[in-house]
Structure 1
Amino acid sequence: MNARNRILATALAMDIDEDPAVRRRGRSVWVHDINRGRRQFGEYHRLVQELRLDDARSIYALWAEQARRQQFEEVLQKIGPTIAKMQTNYRETISPAERLCICLRYLSTGDSFRSIAFSYRVGFCTVARIVRSVCEAIWECMVSDYMPVPGAEAWRKIAGVVLLSRGESYPSWEQHLIPLV
């Protein structure tokens, strides 16, 4: 190999070494050891299941304000098939009920993803994905029931209420709130 080829090979090797995609480290573990005990020590499998079995108390989802078991089950029935994941041989999936509990815990308490991840014994990136997917599923599955698109008559009624509440009509294009120079 002549000197020119050696210089080119060295430059190419240095360029590859500086590429962040080449230097990126892979994951060292698939599921962290502390998260493997989710079924024995995780909040869903301990506390939430105890509350679920306690019929004397009407609270099923601890973090949803005044949520009753029936309401939780109703929401779960509507969005469960959407948020369910396929069971594989590699790892155990998180059940739709546990996914909904994680999302409700985040929405009702505002805890950080990390604190929820530690208490439920799942990864904090997993918590972020769960919250996003469950919120999207709630929107997709329930928006038509609870927020139907108003018809023409309903829009007229809404417009009338808005105009009456203002006491005047909307400003015309000639009127400016901020003087234009």
Structure 2
Amino acid sequence: MDPDKRKAFAALVICEAMKPKKRKKSFWAKEWYKNRDTYSHITLLKELKENNPDDYKNYLRMSDDVFQDLLVAVTPFIEKKDTVMRKAISPEQRLIATLRFVATGRSLEDLKYSTAVSPQCLGVIIPETCRAIWHALRDKYMKFPSTQEEWLAVAADFEGYWNFPNCGGAIDGKHIRITCPSKGGSYYYNYKGFNSLILMAIVNANYEFIMVDVGKNGRMSDSGVIQTTTFYQKLHQKELNLPTTDMTKEGFNFVFVGDDAFALHEHLLKPFPQKGMTPQMRIFNYRVSRARRVVENAFGILANRFRIFHTAINMTADKIEDVVMACCVLHNLLRMNNKAAYTPPVMVDREDIEGGNIIPGVWREGNAALVPLQVGQNRNVSSGAKENRDKYVAYFNSTGAVPWQNNMA
């Protein structure tokens, strides 16, 4: 052989020898994964369903009737076909694994032992099922009002439950802790010192979400987050089809209520700053806070029942959005169908009118899972917004007064 060819051949042999050896996989799944029906929680759930219904309900965070209805709704979106290689994971198993993930906040590595599904597979199944839950339920359980009649129905509940007229919802936002995505840098790093996505929401008088917007990075200015939402853009452009003043009580603007994180607007009321308040302003603040408390409690219930919010969610941002949206619409589903078990009276804040005290709901026990937005600054508030608030101040201190407000303010 030619010396040059001999050298080239030798170099080729050496290069091939230096290449890392590919590990040959001798099996496609661990043996106990193949026996999923035997080793997973499916067997346990059958036992609980027949003999311990309370434990069954606690395990799934819902009654069997509600679970079965939910399973029927999501099955068309998550059902897979068996292949010649393996049997597909059933829709029931997929849904149960997802419900346990959001209810407990357990890691995928931990969850594999009760589901008999690999963490890699769970990482695909859970976001996919969350996306299916959202698509299957949103039109029925989180319908955003689109007509003046629908807005007036929301306002009727606020006046009936919370003595606040012309109110279309309570607005608030929270930081959701996340694990910084790969190459995320400081994009999600907020002023409180952790990585987050921001969840904005509007809640009705029944602690139910009527609008959720999730996905803005935690680094964004808190007071400016609402301005990026579709809701705010439509509000600013007068495209929400809100009731006009000839349809509202006292002829006032139809409004939403928020806290100090938001700017005063002709259709958004917020409390006065604590410094230099008059007695009339204190009454107004109490009435606004009383109506606004529904959104704070809704977030508290959400985090109490879905413990995933007590962890730093370790997924890509788009998958986290799927998880959060699913939790919010499941919250509404359970509020409407399992209210007594999902939110017993002690769960939410209550008023001791005689004593002039707020009795905290049990969701407040322990550390806050969802972190509030930072207080904003009042800048460039229009005269129309101030005049609108003054009208409500006067109303709550005259014909719209309630007997106990002086004790509570």
Query: TM-score when scaled to structure 2?
Result: 0.36
Give the letter for the 1:153 counterpart: N
1:89 match: secondary structure: coil
The equivalent residue for 1:104 is 99
Inter-CA distance 4–154: structure 2 relative to 1 (3 Å threshold): farther
Aligned residue among 76, 79, 87 for 2:82: 87
Shift, 1:134, TM fit: 0.7
The equivalent residue for 1:74 is 69
The equivalent residue for 1:49 is 46
Say whether residues 1:140 and 2:138 are aligned partners.
no
Inter-CA distance 64–40: structure 2 relative to 1 (3 Å threshold): closer
Q: Which moved more, 1:146-155 or 1:33-42?
A: 146-155
Alignment identity in percent?
25
Shift, 1:96, TM fit: 0.5
The equivalent residue for 1:171 is 379
Give the letter for the 2:97 counterpart: I
User: May I ask how many residue pairs the two structures share in their alignment?
Assistant: 166
2:93 match: secondary structure: helix
Give the letter for the 1:4 counterpart: D
Q: Deviations over 1:98-140 (max 9, x none)?
A: 1100111111011121221112222121122111111111122
For residues 78 and 86 of structure 1, what CA distance do their matches in structure 2 show?
18
Say whether residues 1:4 and 2:4 are aligned partners.
yes
Shift, 1:2, TM fit: 3.2
Give the letter for the 1:99 counterpart: R
Shift, 1:9, TM fit: 4.5
CA contact (8 A) 2:32 2:39 kept: no
Give the structure with the larger strand fraction: 2
Q: Which moved more, 1:70-79 or 1:9-18?
A: 9-18
- Pairs within 5 Å for 1:108-123: 108-123=103-118
The equivalent residue for 1:175 is none
For residues 140 and 30 of structure 1, what CA distance do their matches in structure 2 show?
32
Q: Which runs of 5+ in 1 are unaligned?
A: 173-181
Q: Deviations over 1:49-105 (max 9, x none)?
A: 112334x6255454333x111111111111111111101222111110111001111
Aligned residue among 237, 241, 245 for 1:153: 241
Shift, 1:154, TM fit: 4.5
- Superposition RMSD in Å: 3.1
Inter-CA distance 58–118: structure 2 relative to 1 (3 Å threshold): closer
